[in-house]
Amino acid sequence: MNSPSLYLHPDRDACANELAQVLAGRLRADLQDGGRARLLLAGGQSPAPLLQRLAGETLDWSRVELSPTDERWVAVDDAASNLQLLRTALPQARLLDPRQGQTPEEAAQAWGERLAGWLPLSAVLLGMGEDGHIASLFPGMPGLASALAGDAAPAVLVGTAPVAPQLRLSANLALLRRSGWLGLLVFGSAKRELLEAVLADRPQTRRLPVHALVRQAGSRLQIHWAP
């Protein structure tokens, strides 16, 4: 397997600055000649400095379509909503709300169909938890094997998190991999230790979602780490 590229940054500000430039470059490439750029971004607190810098990039944001990699099944204005985070940080982009139905199952089906029309994506930036989850694909959750299957069709699924709010919507790994650029943003020593174990293919990591990402994406994956 060709290994992912691992970028070690001296601090989180430097990481955010470089990633903002990388992502802006990918978006500009797809915006040339009147095209559209489409990207999925992780939620949570880790991407916040990156989003602030990305918002300052000179782009035709009216042609940038954006959605989260995953979403909590909460109201759109709830503080836990990933879309709310993106709306606050990048209000100039065209946002696609994952809540495309009255029930989680209806929303997953409809959001998945909308995202399928975006493929291939311009860029996808994921985060990772200390348990090795990516997006809302958590170790041990029901349906995880099919969500990580390398031969699955791109889709959105209803997932279950071990912490509240437990009900989630998430792109599956097949959808997340269908992008021109694929990145993983990781902060802290504990997550670096886990990543090194995954990159070394240690047996205890082989059931983790991030392990499936690394093995399937290979050299297409850029991992950006800062203390």
Q: Mind giving me the DSSP string for the chain?
A: -PPPEEEE-SSHHHHHHHHHHHHHHHHHHHHGGG--EEEEE--SSTTHHHHHHHHTS---GGGEEEEESEEESS-TTSTT-HHHHHHHH-TTSEE--S--SSSHHHHHHHHHHHHHTTPSBSEEEEEB-TTS-BTTB-TT-TTHHHHH-TTPPS-EEEEE-SSSS-EEEEE-HHHHT-BS-EEEEEESHHHHHHHHHHHTT-GGGTTSHHHHHHHHHGGGEEEEEE-
Residue recorded with tokens 């291939």: 120
Contact present, 206 and 144 (Cβ < 8 Å)? no
Structure confidence at residue 1 (pLDDT): 64
pLDDT one-digit tens code per residue, 195-207: 999 999 999 999 9
Provide the residue ranges of all domains of the chain, joining segments of one domain with +. Answer: 5-226
Whether residue 175 has pLDDT greater than 70: yes
* CA-based torsion, 107, 179, 175, 78: positive or negative: negative
Cα(15)–Cα(141) distance, rounded to whole angstroms?
Answer: 31
Whether residue 26 has pLDDT greater than 80: yes
What percent of the chain is predicted at pLDDT more than 90?
Answer: 97
Contact present, 127 and 44 (Cβ < 8 Å)? yes
As a whole number, mean pLDDT of residues 19-46 equals 95
Query: pTM of the predicted model, to two decimals?
Result: 0.97
Structure confidence at residue 55 (pLDDT): 96
Whether residue 145 has pLDDT greater than 90: yes
Structure confidence at residue 2 (pLDDT): 87
CATH topology of domain 5-226: Rossmann fold (3.40.50)
C-alpha Rg value of the chain to the nearest Å: 16
The rounded mean pLDDT for the chain is 97
Number of Cβ atoms within 10 Å of the Cβ of 6: 16
